[in-house]
Structure 1
Amino acid sequence: MKRLKPLWDRLLFQDKGVLPTKTFIIYFSLFIIALFFLSFWRFSWLFLMFATILFLCLSIIDLYLMPGRKELTITRELTKEMERYENYLVKMTIENKSSFDCIIRIKDSFPVSFQTTFPENQSIPKLQKTMLSYEIKPLIRGKYTIDKLYTRYRSKIGLWERQLTFNQKDELKVIPNLSETKKYLASAQNYLLHEGIKIRKMKSGMGEFSKVRSYVVGDDPRKMNWRQSAKLQEMMTNEYEPEHGKNLTILIDCGRMMGVELEEGNRLEKSIEAAITLATAALDNGDHVSVIAFSKDIKTVIPSGKGLDHLNTILQGIYSLQVDPQESNYELAIRYIQSVQNKRSMIILFSDIQTFIHEDHHLFYLKELRRKHLFLMLGIKDLLLHQKIEKKPTTVKLAMEKSVAQKQYLLQKKGMRKWEKHGLPMLESPAEDLAVTAVSQYIDTLNRGLL
């Protein structure tokens, strides 16, 4: 079996060596058929063997009409950091130092978590450098090492194909998709919505002074700047914004229930993307942000920092988080926050609400946490549950499913109200709106002066 392994690797577009092409197999098959019919005319076996050997020798000439192993070099250029579900170009520089043209096929050593379209049958001129490119699309976050580059090339006659493997080690990171973060930076006002209602303005005189602007209908007369109005002979008003320098702690649950698959990705993927967008909003506002990821144990801790430069620190710390098959230890996470977060802060937990509300012993620890900090839990709506609730009960089976789904939904709402009575609000949002809901709640908290 060990002796057959190099041959097997060669057939799988790996290793190095020479292989016959489809063209060779077709020509050789036609040649054998011709010899078969000629054999009925009593040609000698010696003639048949001589003709076969002559055909093979003539075909070997094709090997000398293609570049040698040392006459072809390939280098790869790729982006070292890629966003999940985004398309990227990988560029290839192929240098042909020989006096013969060739036709090349390339396969890179990307894992199956990348969607790829490799170059096929590309013509490489002699004594020239040629640029090729192809698209890749990463599907799973993490750190990857790409170290092999497999090629097959042939001459224009195309009877034989030479296979080479080039060693070039490149490391790349697949980070969460930042489309929501970019949308926020492009237009923050689109994220100041929750349940279709704009966040109300701050109370008069609250927050930090921002600027003086022209008075418009609807402004509070108590915020009029009479000195500037007199100077400019125009009605001017003061504008305030939430105070900067607040503390935000983001908790990301990586336990078993966060692995539930959605239409695109799973709950953890959407929670990480929403957490990054929320961190961007807070850092852009001048606040301090820290991130803690946990499951059975504490997985990642990113200390508090401010400024948009800190966003890269957060991104590098959580880009490779994966779902663990264990249940989450909320008690450990809560105790850890109490030990490291001394200043009053807003704590936002991304987790599965249905699992959390059935664990009553968490209430004691969260009530202790609530004395010093603000707490908010965000989860993703169970679309399957809501689809069953909205279905018309046209059959007995559908009626039973609808009844069970409604009962489960009512029990969940009852549990959420119980926690909210203790000052521990919980919100569920569709996966695509999770980032909007998180940013909206954060800004609303600042505007109301709760933090």
Structure 2
Amino acid sequence: MIVSARSALLVLVGLIPLAFAPSRAFAWGWFGIIVATCVLDALGAPSPRTLRLRREVTGPIRADQTTTATLRLSNTTKRRMSLDVRDAWPPSLNPSPPRRRVSIGARGAEKISTTLSPTRRGTRHADVVTIRSWGPLHLGARQVSIAAPLTLSVLPEFKARVLLPSRLARLHELEGTTPTTLRGAGTEFDSLRAYVLGDDPRDIDWRASARAPELMVRQWRPERDRHVVIVVDCGRAASALLGAPERMEVDSIALGCAPRLDSSIETAFLLAALADRAGDKVHVLAADSHVRARVSGVRGPKIIETLARTFTDISARLDVTNWSQVAATVEQTVHHPAFVVIATKIPPAGMETEFTDALSRLTERHTVLVASATDPDELRARRGRADAEEVFLAASAALSQRADEAGAADVRLAGALTLEASADLLPARTADRYIELKKSGRL
């Protein structure tokens, strides 16, 4: 039984005669009358268990979108019901309003709408529906919690989407209107044009020049249908919480304070969309102690949708990443030379020999790039000199920086390329490196 604030008003009413004629018997009697009235009023309330419930929600949605969950209540009795209803959802969905008061007529129905504004990705399960049915005097109520299972999938936000148009423009310039004159392992013949001062003499087509009134040079364009493999580390390195930058820079995305995994996912999304538009075949792996997800063979507009659904429920674990298994999975996924991007934290030199061994194994056939997100808080700590505490933090950050540089040197000795950038800049810098390698003919 639930008692309303009106019962407190009745207590205050009883204090008036007690102020003029104090009496213990009157006080206990008045209290008994109030309790009995509340109990009788609660017993007179219609049972909330007679209601029929139906829940609906529009989804899935991205983490930056809002949706509406509807709860339809049907009164199966011949009495009017005055109800307080709480349609409970996890706090990360920010349900609004948290509760509603409705009145449903006999054999009537009422629909309650709750706005959901998620703050992070994942599959969210609705909690119970709590209903209070008030009596005629609104002094007492019956309350029940009824299970009405429902789920909402919140997809990753893909904040790096805003960077895609500018990178596509550079890609179209590279592949469309201005083919490169630089020939590399990843280029194919495109067309002929007249020689201009500054062109490489090795690109002169002497046979075509013999038939033309001027020298002709060959133009090359990056090959299409190359393989791009993106490996997202979901192990303990990805669980580190990275701080937010002091100010937003050009090409940075607003990740806020988030795990390193979020930056890796944004990097995978942007690079996958860019490589797909470039005509390359994209493969994405998520791994920690074992391979948790793999996406291959998806092209066109469906690739981002597929990746979003894949990463919806993937979170970082405190497991040690099995890099030998990652290397084996990459070799099983692609049987031709590919561009392999590994989004992870570069370990200090000599700390994870399995990681460098896996890189050496992959670089025998593939072009490998290790993209590492650095902590903006660590970058700020390196500049601290205001007091003794900041000096000690700066020394610790400098020591960590030297360890990272030594680790990056080990990665380069293994034959891989390295890229270190702030977590909010890593997606843009990785996409830029892909375009540079494409332009130089290395892919």
Same fold per TM (> 0.5)? yes
Partner of 2:90: 111
Q: CA 1:153/1:445 → structure 2, altered by over 3 Å: closer, same or farther?
A: farther
Q: CA 1:398/1:154 → structure 2, altered by over 3 Å: closer, same or farther?
A: same
Indicate if the aligned counterparts of 1:67 and 1:96 stay in contact, CA closer than 8 A: no
Matched residue SS, 1:305: coil
Indicate if the aligned counterparts of 1:191 and 1:436 stay in contact, CA closer than 8 A: no
State the distance in 2 between where 1:307 and 1:68 align: 54
Q: CA 1:100/1:448 → structure 2, altered by over 3 Å: closer, same or farther?
A: farther
Equivalence map 1:348-367=2 (5 Å):
348-355=341-348, 358-360=351-353, 362-367=355-360
Indicate if the aligned counterparts of 1:261 and 1:267 stay in contact, CA closer than 8 A: yes
Matched residue SS, 1:282: helix
Deviations 1:217-257 (A, max 9, x none): xxx9xxxxxxxxxxxxxxxxx99864331111111111112
State the distance in 1 between where 2:117 and 2:336 align: 42
Residue number among 70, 84, 90 corresponding to 2:63 in the alignment:
84
Partner of 2:105: 126
Quick check: 1:334 aligned with 2:327? yes
Partner of 2:6: 23
Indicate if the aligned counterparts of 2:4 and 2:138 stay in contact, CA closer than 8 A: yes
Aligned residue type for 1:165: S
Matched residue SS, 1:410: helix
State the distance in 2 between where 1:339 and 1:149 align: 48
Matched residue SS, 1:293: strand
Partner of 1:243: 223
Deviation at residue 173 of structure 1 after TM alignment? 1.9
Aligned residue type for 2:429: T
For the aligned residue pairs, the C-alpha RMSD in angstroms reads 3.9
Partner of 2:126: 146
Between stretches 404-413 and 441-450, larger displacement belongs to: 404-413
State the distance in 2 between where 1:99 and 1:285 align: 66
Q: Structure 2-normalised TM-score?
A: 0.75
Partner of 2:301: 308
Between stretches 76-85 and 29-38, larger displacement belongs to: 29-38
Residue number among 401, 404, 418 corresponding to 1:426 in the alignment:
418
State the distance in 1 between where 2:398 and 2:441 align: 37
State the distance in 2 between where 1:251 and 1:54 align: 68
Deviation at residue 140 of structure 1 after TM alignment? 4.5
Deviations 1:373-424 (A, max 9, x none): 1100111112232112212x34455444434433432342244244335531
Quick check: 1:160 aligned with 2:160? no
Deviation at residue 294 of structure 1 after TM alignment? 1.6
Partner of 2:155: 175
Deviation at residue 267 of structure 1 after TM alignment? 0.7
Matched residue SS, 2:126: strand
State the distance in 2 between where 1:102 and 1:316 align: 42
Deviation at residue 366 of structure 1 after TM alignment? 1.9
Matched residue SS, 2:117: strand
Deviation at residue 23 of structure 1 after TM alignment? 1.4
Q: What are structure 2's unaligned runs of at least 5 residues?
A: 172-177, 192-198, 200-217, 244-256
Matched residue SS, 2:321: coil
State the distance in 1 between where 2:233 and 2:90 align: 27
Aligned residue type for 1:402: A
Aligned residue type for 2:149: K
Quick check: 1:389 aligned with 2:382? yes
Deviation at residue 259 of structure 1 after TM alignment? 0.8
Partner of 2:439: 447
State the distance in 1 between where 2:170 and 2:374 align: 19
Q: Structure 1-normalised TM-score?
A: 0.74
State the distance in 2 between where 1:41 and 1:109 align: 46
Deviations 1:113-138 (A, max 9, x none): 43333344534353554443222233
State the distance in 2 between where 1:105 and 1:331 align: 57
Indicate if the aligned counterparts of 2:349 and 2:410 stay in contact, CA closer than 8 A: no
Residue number among 259, 265, 272 corresponding to 1:272 in the alignment:
265
Matched residue SS, 1:413: helix
Partner of 1:14: none
State the distance in 2 between where 1:98 and 1:429 align: 64
Partner of 1:216: none
Matched residue SS, 2:237: helix
Aligned residue type for 1:170: L
Partner of 1:321: 314
Partner of 1:368: 361
Partner of 1:254: 234
Aligned residue type for 1:351: T
Q: CA 1:321/1:356 → structure 2, altered by over 3 Å: closer, same or farther?
A: farther
State the distance in 1 between where 2:411 and 2:188 align: 33
State the distance in 2 between where 1:129 and 1:357 align: 68
Between stretches 316-325 and 158-167, larger displacement belongs to: 158-167
Aligned residue type for 1:83: R
Q: What are structure 1's unaligned runs of at least 5 residues?
A: 1-17, 193-200, 212-219, 221-237
Q: CA 1:244/1:142 → structure 2, altered by over 3 Å: closer, same or farther?
A: same
Q: CA 1:130/1:285 → structure 2, altered by over 3 Å: closer, same or farther?
A: farther
Deviation at residue 271 of structure 1 after TM alignment? 1.2
Q: How many residues align?
A: 398
Aligned residue type for 1:158: H
State the distance in 1 between where 2:160 and 2:340 align: 21
Q: CA 1:394/1:318 → structure 2, altered by over 3 Å: closer, same or farther?
A: closer
Deviations 1:1-43 (A, max 9, x none): xxxxxxxxxxxxxxxxx4221212x13423553575687579x
Q: CA 1:265/1:70 → structure 2, altered by over 3 Å: closer, same or farther?
A: same
